[in-house]
Structure 1
């Protein structure tokens, strides 16, 4: 499968390209300049892969949660590229991408995702990977106060890997928990971690049309 993935949900712009025998990726700190960097990054990675947009099988984008402006930029780019090429679109969750990053780097099948926001709340998910490579979260993806997360963690057992910015912004989640926690250095989502998820969704036919894309905000809180 040939898939182009791009992510603009945080202060970083990242792109990744999967081809038959290789993967390419680029990341750039963009702050609030996503519109300035994302299309040149896409053009660059397609040139490096000696591919045109029309040779791809699908486009994968991050639909949130994340930066309000960043999510809108990513959706706009996804819509424009899909309308121009006729390619199917695959929308992925930021929290699921971070869980996949834990598997890609650490082979962790149980992942606690915590992303800090500008309101003091935390985007939260408890992901477990099944034998098919799908991620499932019993509580879904939600937004909670730190004290509510500590209560959630009391219901869990075993070893979990921690990803996301929330563990640094709320160290009490670590200090006051009795769980066996592996604290990773995986803080932000990257397009290269979207590729395995996008492949599964493409096989399952879980694609969206440009006209039906909806961002995933969960609330009016955005990444800090």
Structure 2
């Protein structure tokens, strides 16, 4: 039987929800940087009603685990944990950077993607990915938070054309122009739940789920603290 997976994301300025039922996708998305807490649950209700399902009928709940806005990531995982706990669902954390790579493939068929999200404080959240034949994404540059001008010293030139995704390219155009890469811009600025749910399906089929109490965000910055659920060390 085909998996039924709900994905939610509030890690950046965008707020999105997607429900995958077999090959059928139901999704909602809106750029609403200050209204995530108001938007996300109504979006969840809408896609469930459209599909004629309840939370308890799903197989897993996926969430944007970061990196991204500290507040946004925290909102997303908190809501996801609440929903999953109430419906007794396993959870799947999906990288926001990998989700944007999937978005570039969905919108323009890109198979080599360079992701840069504006991380403020003169830094970007960075990662590079190459799509494999089975639809998974191989990590070329591990996701990190780094000053954009420092990337040029850490990246080797190659013969590929890299699709650029994320807000970092517009935020730091001069610094990122020094990278020894051939790039092609895309329209993907933010991660989307409709791309996360595709990656979540792959993880689900491989048995890569976690219990609610073991789900965790990825902030990349060591200076932020996450208040863990009761009983966690």
Q: TM-score range by the shorter chain?
A: over 0.9
Kept in 2, the 8 Å contact 1:26–1:41? The answer is yes
- 2:229 corresponds in structure 1 to none
Q: How many residues align?
A: 222
- 1:100 corresponds in structure 2 to 102
Among 49, 52, 65, the alignment partner of 1:50 is 52
Distance 1:16 1:152 in 2: 35
- 1:118 corresponds in structure 2 to 120
Task: Name stretches of at least 5 consecutive residues in structure 1 with no aligned partner.
Answer: none
Kept in 1, the 8 Å contact 2:104–2:113? The answer is yes
Distance 2:169 2:196 in 1: 22
Normalization by structure 1: what TM-score?
A: 0.92
CA RMSD of aligned residues (A): 1.8
Normalization by structure 2: what TM-score?
A: 0.89
- 2:41 corresponds in structure 1 to 39
Task: Name stretches of at least 5 consecutive residues in structure 2 with no aligned partner.
Answer: 225-233
- 1:142 corresponds in structure 2 to 144
Kept in 1, the 8 Å contact 2:119–2:145? The answer is no
- 1:190 corresponds in structure 2 to 192
- 1:90 corresponds in structure 2 to 92
Kept in 1, the 8 Å contact 2:12–2:72? The answer is yes
Kept in 2, the 8 Å contact 1:119–1:221? The answer is no
Give the CA deviation at 1:221: 8.2
Q: Which moved more, 1:26-35 or 1:50-59?
A: 26-35
Q: Which moved more, 1:153-162 or 1:128-137?
A: 153-162
List, as ranges, runs of 4+ consecutive aligned residues in structure 1 with deviation greater than 6 Å.
none
- 1:12 corresponds in structure 2 to 14
Helix, strand or coil for the counterpart of 2:158?
coil
